[in-house]
Amino acid sequence: MADGEWHGNYLLPGTADDPEAALAAVADAAQETVTECLSRAWPVCAAHGLGMHPRDADGHLSWWCAGGRRGGGSAHVVAAVGVLDSVAGRG
């Protein structure tokens, strides 16, 4: 952040040896930092208005929404981590 503070976990030595683990750690830290700065959930699923979380989906780290469960539907993947900005109606 602008004042030098940060949120989330730091990357452990050797993280570069596992790019998926590094991406997950960076996504978690980015989510935590943006959420703290905005004082609200981020990113938000446009369909359900709920905060999403990074999860593995078919071998790709993706932003996952649990919102579909509330209406009896299933949870869903919104976008791969790194391409959320290309999704229309992103939060």
- DSSP H helical ranges for the chain: 19-38
DSSP string, 21-82: HHHHHHHHHHHHHHHHHHTS-SSB-TTT--B-EEEEETTEEEEEE-GGGTTT---EEEEETT
Give pLDDT tens digits along the chain (91 positions).
Answer: 678 776 666 777 887 788 888 888 888 888 888 888 889 999 998 888 889 999 988 888 999 998 866 565 568 899 999 888 766 444 4
Hey, where are the domains in the chain? 16-86
pTM for the model stands at 0.73
